[in-house]
Amino acid sequence: MDRLSRGSAILILCFFSIVVSSVGDGHKDQEKRPALSFPETLARTYWDWAKTIVHRAQAYFFPPNIDFRGSNGAGEQTDMGAGEKVKEAVAESLGKTRATVEDSAKSAAKVASETVHKTKEKVKRSLSDQGRQETDHSEL
């Protein structure tokens, strides 16, 4: 008898949820959507109902964290204002930017130095080659 009452209760709940969902649709929504068969409607309603229950259970057991203050380390809380946090973040960012710019400048100076040295060597070679060619031409 207990099985029968549970089964009939589930059937009544499913039928009631189908009726409630179809009453709220209106005529405009029916024109936009294709007509669904009874099993498709029942399956869609069942899955919507199941998703709602799962979301509610998740919200109950894992409530959202609405404390946006954050924490510093192991439970340490300070009375630092938002302005001070922004100042700290900007100072840290500027320090990192300064270090990056210095590294880039050093790399650029090194590359420029190597390029100047290579160019100087090429000019030396070309001048010495020209001197040799002039002496060869003067001997002829």
Question: What is d(CA 133, CA 77) in angstroms, rounded to the nearest whole number?
Answer: 81
Task: Find the Cα–Cα–Cα–Cα dihedral 25, 30, 32, 38, rounded to 10°.
Answer: 100
User: What's residue 75's pLDDT?
Assistant: 47
Q: What residue segments make up the domains of the chain, in order of their start?
A: 2-61, 84-140
Q: What is the pLDDT of residue 112?
A: 93
pTM to 2 decimals?
0.33
Q: What is the block-wise mean pLDDT of the chain (140 residues), using blocks of 10 residues?
A: 65 68 54 72 84 90 78 54 87 90 92 93 86 64
Q: Contact 12/43 with Cβ under 8 angstroms?
A: no
Query: Are the CB atoms for 47 and 14 separated by under 8 Å?
Result: no
